[in-house]
Amino acid sequence: MKTTMNREVTVCDSCKRVIELCGTKCDECGRDFCFECSHSKIVIYSFGVHVGGYGDAHWCKECDHRLHMDADPRHVAYEMIQKLRAEGAAWHRDYSRRCEVAEAVTRTFHEERERAEKKAGEHLRSGDTGRHAAH
C-alpha cells in the first residue's frame, strides 16, 4: 500500500544533502552540517583538558573566526583548553621519547652484563679460571 507522509528532515547547509544520522550544528549560528561536511566546516573544542563529549563546543569556521576576533569569553576559555590539550600531548610525546632513550641505555647495560655472565660461565665450565699458575 502506498501512503503519502509529510516528513521533516534536516538538510546540510553546506552540501544540501539530507542528514540521516550524524549531523553537527554550529553552537553560534545554528547551521547544520552533515558528517562529511563537518570535517572541513566545523571546529570542535573539548570542554575539558582530559575529557570531552557532552559540553564540547561546535562552531562553524566562520563563527569560530569571528568569536576569536571578538575575544568572546566562552571562546577564549575553549581555546585555552585546546592549547592545554596540545601542550599535554606534546609533553607526553617528548616524555615518551626520553623514556625510550633511557630504557634503551639500561637495556644495553643489561645485555652487556648478560653477555659477560655468559662468558664467565663458559670459562668456568671449560676449567679456565682466568688465573695462571706462577712458576
pLDDT tens-digit map of 26-40: 999 999 999 999 999
On whether the pTM is more than 0.85, the answer is no
Q: What is the pLDDT of residue 7?
A: 87
For residue 131, the Cα-to-chain-centroid distance in whole angstroms is: 59
pLDDT tens-digit map of 112-124: 998 888 888 777 7
Specify whether the CB–CB gap between 43 and 59 falls below 8 A.
Answer: yes
Q: What three-state secondary structure class fits 106?
A: helix
pLDDT tens-digit map of 44-80: 999 888 888 788 999 999 999 999 999 999 999 999 9
Residue ranges of the domains in the chain? Answer: 23-125
Distance CA 13, CA 27 (A): 14
Please name which of 66, 70, 44 lies closest in space to residue 57, comparing C-alpha atoms: 44
